[in-house]
Structure 1
Amino acid sequence: MTGIVEKLYNTGDLSDGELKALIGTDDTETAELLRRYADETRQKSYGKKVFLRGLIEISSFCKNDCLYCGIRRSNKDADRYRLSREDILSCCENGYGLGFRTFVMQGGEDSFFTDDFLCGVISEIKEKYPDCAVTLSLGERSYESFRRLREAGADRYLLRHEAASEELYRKLHPVEMSLENRKECLFSLKELGYQVGAGFMVGAPFQNTEHIIADLRFLQELQPQMIGIGPFIPHHNTPFAGENGGTLELTLRLLGILRLMFPKVLLPATTALGTIAPNGRELGLKTGCNVVMPNLSPVKVRKKYDLYDNKICTGEEAAECRGCLQRRIESAGYEIASERGDCIK
Structure 2
Amino acid sequence: MIEELRRDRNLPDAALRKLIECADYDEGLFHHADEVRREYYGTDVYIRGLIELTNYCKNDCYYCGIRRSNAQAVRYRLNKEDILECCREGYALGFRTFVLQGGEDGFYTDKIVCDIVSAIRENYPDCAITLSLGEKNRESYLAFFEAGADRYLLRHETADEEHYQKLHPSAQKLSVRKQCLWDLKKIGYQVGSGFMVGSPYQTTENLIADLRFLQELMPAMIGIGPFIPHHQTPFATCAGGTLALSLRMVAILRLMFPYALIPATTALGTIHPQGRELGLKAGANVVMPNLSPVKVRKLYELYDNKICTGEESAECRGCLERRVASAGYRIVTARGDVACKSRREG
TM-score range, shorter chain: over 0.9
Q: Deviations over 1:244-281 (max 9, x none)?
A: 00000000000000000000000000000000000000
Aligned counterpart, 2:19 = 22
Residue 219 of structure 1 is aligned with which of 214, 217, 232?
A: 214
Aligned counterpart, 2:178 = 183
Does residue 109 of the first structure (1) align with residue 104 of the second (2)?
A: yes
Distance 2:164 2:110 in 1: 28
Q: Which amino acid aligns with 2:7?
A: N
**Which secondary structure state, in structure 2, belongs to the residue aligned with residue 50 of structure 1?**
strand
Aligned counterpart, 2:319 = 324
**Which secondary structure state, in structure 1, belongs to the residue aligned with residue 149 of structure 2?**
coil
Runs in 1 of length 4+ with deviation above 4 angstroms? none
Aligned counterpart, 2:275 = 280
TM-fit CA distance, 1:7: 1.3
TM-fit CA distance, 1:229: 0.2
Unpaired runs of 5+ residues, structure 1, are: none
Aligned counterpart, 2:138 = 143
Q: Deviations over 1:63-104 (max 9, x none)?
A: 000000000000000010000100000000000000000000
Give me the TM-score of the superposition, normalised by structure 1. 0.98
Does residue 201 of the first structure (1) align with residue 190 of the second (2)?
A: no
Aligned counterpart, 1:290 = 285
Aligned counterpart, 1:167 = 162
Q: Deviations over 1:298-338 (max 9, x none)?
A: 00000000100000000000000000000000111101111
Aligned counterpart, 1:306 = 301
Aligned counterpart, 1:88 = 83
Distance 2:156 2:21 in 1: 22
TM-fit CA distance, 1:12: 1.1
Unpaired runs of 5+ residues, structure 2, are: 341-346
| Mapping 1:21-170, distance limit 5 Å | 21-27=18-24, 30-170=25-165
TM-fit CA distance, 1:20: 0.7
Distance 1:231 1:277 in 2: 11
Distance 2:143 2:38 in 1: 36
TM-fit CA distance, 1:344: 1.7
Does residue 10 of the first structure (1) align with residue 7 of the second (2)?
A: yes
TM-fit CA distance, 1:46: 0.6
Residue 343 of structure 1 is aligned with which of 318, 338, 343?
A: 338
Distance 1:331 1:44 in 2: 20
Aligned counterpart, 1:258 = 253
TM-fit CA distance, 1:11: 1.4
Distance 2:202 2:84 in 1: 39
Q: Which amino acid aligns with 1:21?
A: K
TM-fit CA distance, 1:5: 1.2
Aligned counterpart, 1:192 = 187
Distance 1:176 1:9 in 2: 39
State the superposition RMSD in angstroms. 0.5
